[in-house]
Amino acid sequence: MRLNQRQIEIFNAIMVHKSVTAAAAVLRTSQPTVSRELRDLEKQIGFDLFNRFGKRLTPTSQAQLLHSAVARSFVGMEEISRVATAIKGRNAAHLRIACLPAYAEALLPDVAHRFLKTRPQVHLLVHSLGEVALRHDMTTQLFDIGLTEGSYDYDEATSENVDVGELLCVLPAEHRLTTKVIIDPQDFEGVDFVYYSEDDPYRRKLDEVFDAAGVARHYTVETTTATGLCSMVAAGVGVSIVNPLTAAHYANRGIVLRKLSVRVPYHVYLWRPANGLRSALADQFVRVLRQVTEEMKQRIKLLLAD
């Protein structure tokens, strides 16, 4: 099966603009044409993309899955257009950064602020994705810097790791475990626990720690992001163990940090495309990122000493 570009454009327009009428206006075509193209697309792929209630369309679960892939391709096309515009205006100074949502919230704002003080003409594009989608996007090389939790084998990219410290316990401010300075795995026995989804690389490492200690936790919520996890803890849903960057970001926001007696080192893996010229801008950004990371490690020491 091979879809053509027009079919993909129509599908994306309907998903983004929520109606055939709006999609037709954006694509500068007629509503009957868009409806016909949509029916042809559904016939070709063999399943319905939308539930139809009169003139209203509601995306099916299959449509949502398909659009997650389509949206990434459109991000790539938009980036190419932006680069072309920048070159035309003789202002092609830009950096494309692909990262986890946790880094977009807890690390990159400080890095971007410091970096742009010295390079205000640079345009930063931060594209945050879950780990699985991020791994896929790195193979396209539509980025200058990639930041992941996991280490992978890619011929298209080179990597280095940034030591950020170790995983930390995060607790609601009034939780009984806050009376302890260092928390043992056994302290989590039967305690309400907010956890990562099963495909998270650090979930597997923590499972090994608790399995070795024979500890059974009571899972209340599983979530795909560290920021979502900390928000749940701050709301009192349960306790958890999270990367130090996100833990420090949420400290004093309804969350208390404590060390885990079993050390689980945490690294950020920093990726660069293997092919092409090495970007001096990316080199400078990486230097700033390492500086900010070291300062965050010192801040975490102070937080744990309180």
What is the rounded CA–CA span in Å between residue 68 and residue 62? 10
For the chain, give percent helix, strand, coil, nearest 5.
50, 25, 25
259-274 confidence digits (pLDDT tens): 999 999 999 989 887 7
Q: Is the dihedral of CA 57, 63, 69, 73 positive or negative?
A: negative
Domains 87-164+267-305 and 165-264 are alike in CATH topology: yes
If residue 291 lies in a helix (H) or strand (E), which one and from where to where?
Answer: helix 280-305
Helical pair 280-305 and 108-118, crossing angle rounded to 10 deg: 130
* CATH 1.20.210.10 corresponds to the domain 165-264: no
273-302 confidence digits (pLDDT tens): 776 556 788 899 999 999 999 999 999 988
Q: Residue 148's closest CA among 137, 140, 156?
A: 137
Annotated domain spans of the chain: 5-68, 87-164+267-305, 165-264
7-16, 84-93, 170-179, 223-232 — which is least confidently predicted?
Answer: 84-93
Quote the pLDDT of residue 247: 93
pTM score: 0.68
Segment 8-17 mean pLDDT: 87
CB 157 within 8 A of CB 235: no
What is the rounded CA–CA span in Å between residue 171 and residue 174? 8
Quote the pLDDT of residue 75: 59
Q: Which CATH class is domain 5-68?
A: mainly alpha
Quote the pLDDT of residue 110: 95
CATH label, 87-164+267-305, candidates 3.40.718.10, 3.50.50.60, 1.10.340.30, 3.40.190.10: 3.40.190.10
